[in-house]
C-alpha cells in the first residue's frame, strides 16, 4: 500500500472550494451585468452618447445600446446583481478567514512566499523549462508548491483579488461617498469599471492555467489532495 | 481520542456556539438600529442585508462626490420613459403650473405643494453623477429643494422610518429610509444645468438620490407618504424594483 501524507490543511481546502463556488457565481453574474452595457470607457463618465474606449461585439440586454444586432437579450440584471454581491460577500469573508489563518499559522511564509533558494530568475526558469519539456514532476512537487506556483498564488492572493475587490467597491456610489479616494485614485468611475473588467479577465486566465496545470500534473491525485487533504507519496520517497 | 483532538473538539464547539450566538445578537442589533432592508427575505436576503447594513454603518452621513462645472457631461443620456398619461399631458400644456406634490402619512401637517411652493423653500444646487446599474453614467448640475425641507415643513412623526414616493409613470414608486430622505443631497429636483428640468430627465419634478443608483431617482414625483413600515406598499418590499428582482437599497 502506498504511503500517504498530509498535504492541504482543512482551512485551505474549505476556503479553496468556497472560493471556487463564489468565483463562478461572480463570473457568470458579472458577464450578465456586462451584457446590459457591453461598452467600456475611461475617466469619470461614459454612456451611449460618448465614444467608448472599446466595445464588446455581443448583443445587449438593453435596446438603448447600439450593438449592430437586431435583437435584445433578456434582462438578467436583477438576480445577477443580487447574486454578484452575495457571492462577493462570501468571497471576501472566506478570503479573510484564509488570510488571517495563513498569517497566524505560517502558511503564507512556509508555503506561498517563494522559498529562500528559489527567488532567482533561474529558479523560475527551471520550473518553466520543466513544464515545457513535459518532464515528469519530481517527488517534491506532490508535497509542496514550486517557485512558479508560489509566485502565481502570491499575485492572485495579494494583487488580483485585492484589486478586483477595490475596483468593484469603487462602483458603489455610497462607498464612493464615504471613501472618494477609492474611485478618484483609479481615474474615475468608468476607469474603475474598465479595470474591474480587466482584473476579472486576469483572474479567469489564472483559473484556466491553474486547471490546465492540475490536469497535466495528475488530475485525480491533485483533486484528492484538495478534497481529502491527503496525498500519496511517490514511490521514491516512501 | 488524544488530548489534542479533544481540545480541538471543545474549541470548535465553543467557537460554533459563540458564532451562532453572535449572529443572533447581530440580527437583533441590526433590526434595532435600522440595518435591515424591507426586501431582506428570500435567497438573496442575506446579501441585500449585508449591503444595506454595512453601507449604513459606513456611509450614513457621507456626501456623494460633487464635481467641478467643467465636468458636466456635454451629452447626458436619459433612459426612455413610458408615454405620458393624460394627466401628465394636461399638466404639461399648462407649463406644469398645476403640478402638485402631496404629502401624507405619519406627518403632523399633511400638505400639498406646487412647484412654486417648492421653489420658494431653501434650495440646493449640486453637480453629481447619475450612475445606472447597467454601468453607464453622466455628470449634471441638479437644482432642487432638499427633501428634508419638505419633511420639516410637514413635520415627520417620531415613529416614522420611510418616505415612499410615487410617480405619474405607471407602476413607478420607491422609498427611502429616513437617513437618506434627510440627507442634504437628496433633492426634489426641478432644475438641471442652469435651466428647468427637461421632461426627458424627469421634469418637472424628480427625486435625486446621488448616493444610490439611478433607478432610485424616480421621475415625475407627485406624492410622498411617510410611514413606519413598507408592508402596505405593493408587495411590501419597499419599492417596485424588488418585485422585478432589483434591490431596494441601491447604494451598490
**Domain presence at residue B249:** no
pTM: 0.92
Instruction: Read off the pLDDT of each residue in B197-214 and give the average, rounded to a whole number.
Output: 96
Q: How far is the alpha carbon of A120 from chain B, nearest alpha carbon, in Å?
A: 40
Q: Is the pLDDT of residue B2 over 70?
A: no
Contact between A86 and B47 using a beta-carbon 8 Å cutoff: yes
Residues of A in Cβ contact (< 8 Å) with B77: 47-49, 64
Residues A5-57 have pLDDT tens digits of: 889 999 999 999 999 999 999 999 999 999 999 999 999 999 999 999 999 99
Q: How far is residue A98's CA from residue A102's CA, in Å, rounded to a whole number?
A: 6
Strand ranges inside chain B, DSSP E: 100-105, 111-114, 124-131, 137-146, 162-167, 173-177, 187-192, 195-196, 206-208, 221-227
Residues of A in Cβ contact (< 8 Å) with B43: 82
Q: Is the pLDDT of residue A234 over 70?
A: no
Contact between B246 and A171 using a beta-carbon 8 Å cutoff: no
Question: What is the predicted ipTM?
Answer: 0.90
DSSP B104: E
Q: Give helix A77-105 / helix B45-59 axis angle, nearest 10°.
A: 70
List all residues of chain B from 199 to 228 with a beta carbon under 8 Å from chain A: 210-213
**Domain presence at residue B57:** no
Name the residue range of residue B230's domain. Answer: 64-244
Q: How far is residue B132's CA from residue A145's CA, in Å, rounded to a whole number?
A: 44
Contact between B137 and A178 using a beta-carbon 8 Å cutoff: no
B184 touches A at CB < 8 Å: no
Name the residue range of residue A40's domain. Answer: 4-237
**Domain presence at residue B73:** yes
Residues A75-114 have pLDDT tens digits of: 999 999 999 999 999 999 999 999 999 999 999 999 999 8
- Output the domain CATH number for residue A33: 1.20.950.20
Residues of B in Cβ contact (< 8 Å) with A193: 135
Identify the helix (H) or strand (E) that includes residue A86: helix A77-105
B47 touches A at CB < 8 Å: yes
With cut-offs at 50, 70 and 90, classify the pLDDT of residue B13: confident
Q: How far is the alpha carbon of A131 from chain B, nearest alpha carbon, in Å?
A: 40
- Output the domain CATH number for residue B76: 3.90.420.10
Instruction: Read off the pLDDT of each residue in A144-155 and give the average, rounded to a whole number.
Output: 92
- Domains identified in chain B, total number: 1
Q: Shortest CB distance from A89 goes to which of B43, B47, B76? A: B47
Q: Shortest CB distance from A82 goes to which of B47, B131, B132? A: B47
Length of chain B: 252
Q: Shortest CB distance from A175 goes to which of B59, B76, B138? A: B59
Q: For residue A5, what pLDDT is reported?
A: 84
**Domain presence at residue B53:** no
**Domain presence at residue B46:** no
B243 touches A at CB < 8 Å: no
> Which string of DSSP letters, residue by residue, matches A35-76?
HT--EE--SS-B-TTS--SEE--S--S-TTS--S-SS-PPP-
A199: left (phi over 0), alpha (psi -120 to 50) or beta: alpha
Q: For residue B82, what pLDDT is reported?
A: 81
How far CA B89 is from CA of B79, B84, B97, B219, in Å, comes to 19, 6, 12, 15
- Domains identified in chain A, total number: 1
Please calculate the CA angle B54-B57-B62 and round it to the nearest 5 degrees. 115
Q: Is the pLDDT of residue B60 over 80?
A: yes
**Domain presence at residue B7:** no
Q: Residues B220, B226, B230, B232: is their CA dihedral positive or negative?
A: negative
Contact between B129 and A178 using a beta-carbon 8 Å cutoff: no
B5 touches A at CB < 8 Å: no
What is the percentage of chain B residues whose pLDDT exceeds 70? 98
Amino acid at each position: 500500500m502506498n504511503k500517504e501524507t498530509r498535504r492541504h490543511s482543512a482551512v485551505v481546502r474549505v476556503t479553496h472550494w468556497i472560493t471556487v463556488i463564489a468565483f463562478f457565481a461572480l463570473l457568470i453574474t458579472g458577464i450578465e451585468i456586462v451584457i446590459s452595457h457591453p461598452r467600456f470607457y475611461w475617466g469619470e463618465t461614459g454612456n451611449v452618447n460618448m465614444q467608448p474606449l472599446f466595445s464588446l461585439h455581443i448583443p445587449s440586454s438593453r435596446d438603448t445600446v447600439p450593438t449592430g444586432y437586431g435583437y435584445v437579450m433578456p434582462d438578467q440584471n436583477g438576480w445577477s446583481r443580487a447574486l454578484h454581491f452575495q457571492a462577493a460577500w462570501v468571497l471576501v469573508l472566506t478570503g479573510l478567514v484564509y488570510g488571517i489563518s495563513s498569517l497566524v499559522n505560517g502558511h503564507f511564509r512556509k508555503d506561498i512566499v517563494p522559498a529562500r533558494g528559489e527567488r532567482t530568475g533561474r529558479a523560475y526558469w527551471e520550473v518553466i523549462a520543466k513544464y515545457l519539456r513535459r518532464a515528469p514532476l519530481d517527488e517534491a512537487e506532490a508535497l509542496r508548491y514550486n517557485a512558479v506556483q508560489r509566485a502565481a498564488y502570491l499575485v492572485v492572493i495579494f494583487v488580483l483579488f485585492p484589486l478586483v475587490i477595490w475596483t468593484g467597491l469603487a462602483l458603489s456610489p455610497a462607498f464612493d461617498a464615504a471613501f472618494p479616494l477609492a474611485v478618484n485614485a483609479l481615474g474615475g468611475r468608468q476607469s474603475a469599471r474598465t479595470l474591474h473588467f480587466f482584473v476579472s479577465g486576469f483572474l479567469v486566465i489564472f483559473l484556466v492555467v491553474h486547471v490546465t496545470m492540475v490536469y497535466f500534473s495528475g488530475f485525480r491525485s491533485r483533486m484528492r489532495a484538495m478534497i481529502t487533504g491527503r496525498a500519496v507519496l511517490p514511490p521514491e520517497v516512501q | 481520542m488524544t488530548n489534542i483532538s479533544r481540545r480541538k473538539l471543545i474549541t470548535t464547539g465553543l467557537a460554533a456556539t459563540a458564532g451562532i450566538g453572535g449572529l443572533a445578537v447581530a440580527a437583533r442589533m441590526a433590526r434595532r438600529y435600522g440595518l435591515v432592508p424591507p426586501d431582506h427575505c428570500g435567497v438573496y436576503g442575506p446579501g441585500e442585508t449585508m449591503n444595506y447594513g454595512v453601507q449604513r454603518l459606513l456611509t450614513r452621513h457621507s456626501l456623494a462626490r460633487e464635481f467641478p462645472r467643467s465636468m458636466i457631461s456635454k451629452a447626458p443620456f436619459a433612459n426612455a420613459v413610458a408615454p405620458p398619461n393624460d394627466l401628465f399631458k394636461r399638466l404639461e400644456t399648462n407649463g406644469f403650473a398645476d403640478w402638485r406634490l402631496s404629502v401624507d402619512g405619519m406627518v403632523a401637517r399633511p400638505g400639498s405643494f406646487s412647484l412654486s411652493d417648492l421653489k420658494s423653500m431653501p434650495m440646493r444646487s449640486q453637480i453629481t453623477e447619475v450612475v445606472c446599474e447597467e454601468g453607464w453614467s453622466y455628470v449634471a448640475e441638479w437644482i432642487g429643494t432638499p427633501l428634508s425641507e419638505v419633511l420639516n415643513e410637514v413635520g415627520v412623526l417620531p415613529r416614522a422610518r420611510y418616505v415612499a414616493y410615487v410617480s405619474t409613470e405607471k407602476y413607478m414608486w420607491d422609498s427611502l429610509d429616513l437617513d437618506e430622505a434627510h440627507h442634504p443631497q437628496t433633492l426634489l429636483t426641478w432644475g438641471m444645468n442652469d435651466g428647468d428640468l427637461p421632461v426627458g430627465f424627469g421634469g418637472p419634478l424628480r427625486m435625486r438620490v446621488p448616493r444610490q443608483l439611478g433607478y432610485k431617482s424616480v421621475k415625475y414625483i407627485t406624492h410622498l407618504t411617510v410611514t413606519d413600515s413598507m408592508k402596505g406598499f405593493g408587495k411590501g418590499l419597499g419599492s417596485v424594483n424588488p418585485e422585478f428582482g432589483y434591490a431596494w437599497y441601491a447604494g451598490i
